[in-house]
Amino acid sequence: MSVHPYITDAIELLKRMIAVPSVSREEEGVAALLEDFFKRTGLDYYQRKGNNLWIRSKYYSEKTPTILLNSHIDTVKPSSGWTSDPFTPKEENDKITGLGSNDAGASVVSLLATFRMLEERKQPCNFIFSATAEEEISGDEGVASILDQLGPVDLGVVGEPTRMQMAVAEKGLIVLDGTVKGKSGHAARDEGINAIYEAIPAIEWFRNYQFPLQSEFLGPVKMTVTGIGAGSQHNVVPDVCRFMVDIRVNEHYKNEELFQLIRQHVNCELKARSFRLNSSSISVNHPFVKRGEELGLEKFGSPTTSDQARMPFTTVKIGPGDSSRSHTSDEFIRPSEIVEGVKIYHQLLDGLHIHSI
């Protein structure tokens, strides 16, 4: 079976990307590699800021709705369990093994191949392809740093490994640090106020409380106490207890709104590390989702965060590969998954009509 030349290019580009280390904040090499590819393939109207690159459709019109095709070029650091060099692409048994192959190099090259195909004729929508940095650390020098350069965006298609199924909702994240104060005293005498005991009601509340709005795809808001610390020696009543809470937020709550609701219930000092990683969602009646359903794609809710959290417009997450392979030793992608990914992306986007916001 013949493979489209753009897909052949994509698979070869992925191998070259794997061979260039691109840990978060160190993406210069892969960014330069993509620049070279753009120049060689006639996409020399790209733009770059830091380690982020984007290409606006040659048919771009301010009167036309815009769809952003985005994925990330950074990776996590390789774990110690790799059985081969993570920066040497290894191809055998319909697998390309290498760091970032699945998360999210395959999405980068598949979206790029799709963009090239869509560029061959004028479309009902503008398309912008972007390959961005710092996704793995939710960094400020990634996609968030170029949004003001892109102009209005009506839909973001975020490439992450989802087996080419549609993540129509994604959980947001808040990390809270709680502090409960008591009064020190000698443990042998009935004195002091034990901060650990004072913290128990707050910890129990996080353990048991259920927010009323639940999501069809993401379920309830999930709160988990993931760390606690107090005391320094066995005979001193501790005067401070600190704890940490991981909160996964569904699309019915904005992070700052949820934080204010929590403060109404919990009587202790609470600080949020950030509010920027909000939940994301797309209407099940959106034309993109409807077309996906016509193609037989499934809808699901994703528990993991991505660059969707940094995008203040409607987004959907979909890409080749499997999330279960991400951040694992001997991470791999199948070339056949890239072929299928480009096919589905093109079927979803070619001729798609959406409305401007």
357 inside domain: no
Is the per-residue pLDDT at 263 higher than 80?
yes
Is the per-residue pLDDT at 355 higher than 90?
no
* 109 and 30 together in one domain: yes
Q: What would the pLDDT profile of 272-307 be if each residue is shown by its tens digit? A: 999 999 999 999 999 999 999 999 999 999 988 899
Domain boundary (272, 304, 320) is at 272
* 67 and 156 together in one domain: yes
17 inside domain: yes
* 341 and 216 together in one domain: no
CB of 161 closer than 8 Å to CB of 328: no
* 102 and 228 together in one domain: no
CB of 149 closer than 8 Å to CB of 262: no
Is the per-residue pLDDT at 1 higher than 80?
no
231 inside domain: yes
User: For residue 75, what is the domain's CATH number?
Assistant: 3.40.630.10
Residue 16: give the domain boundaries. 5-170+279-349
356 inside domain: no
* 185 and 227 together in one domain: yes
250 inside domain: yes
Q: Which of 111, 152, 145, 153 is nearest to 129 (CA)?
A: 111
* 153 and 182 together in one domain: no
**What pLDDT band is residue 190 in, cutting at 50, 70 and 90?**
confident
Which residue blocks in 41-159 are alpha helix, DSSP H?
A: 106-118, 147-150
Q: Residue 181: count other Cβ atoms within 10 Å of its Cβ.
A: 14
* 143 and 185 together in one domain: no
* 136 and 19 together in one domain: yes
Q: What would the pLDDT profile of 133-157 be if each residue is shown by its tens digit? A: 999 999 999 999 999 999 999 999 9
55-61: list long-range contacts, CB under 8 Å, 24+ apart.
55/115, 55/128, 55/129, 55/130, 56/126, 56/128, 56/150, 57/115, 57/118, 57/119, 57/123, 57/126, 57/127, 57/128, 58/119, 59/119, 59/122, 59/123, 59/126, 60/126, 60/128, 61/126
Q: Say whether pTM exceeds 0.75.
A: yes
* 157 and 46 together in one domain: yes
User: For residue 246, what is the domain's CATH number?
Assistant: 3.30.70.360
Domain boundary (222, 238, 272) is at 272
* 163 and 59 together in one domain: yes
* 98 and 17 together in one domain: yes
* 20 and 153 together in one domain: yes
CB of 136 closer than 8 Å to CB of 76: yes
SS3 28: helix
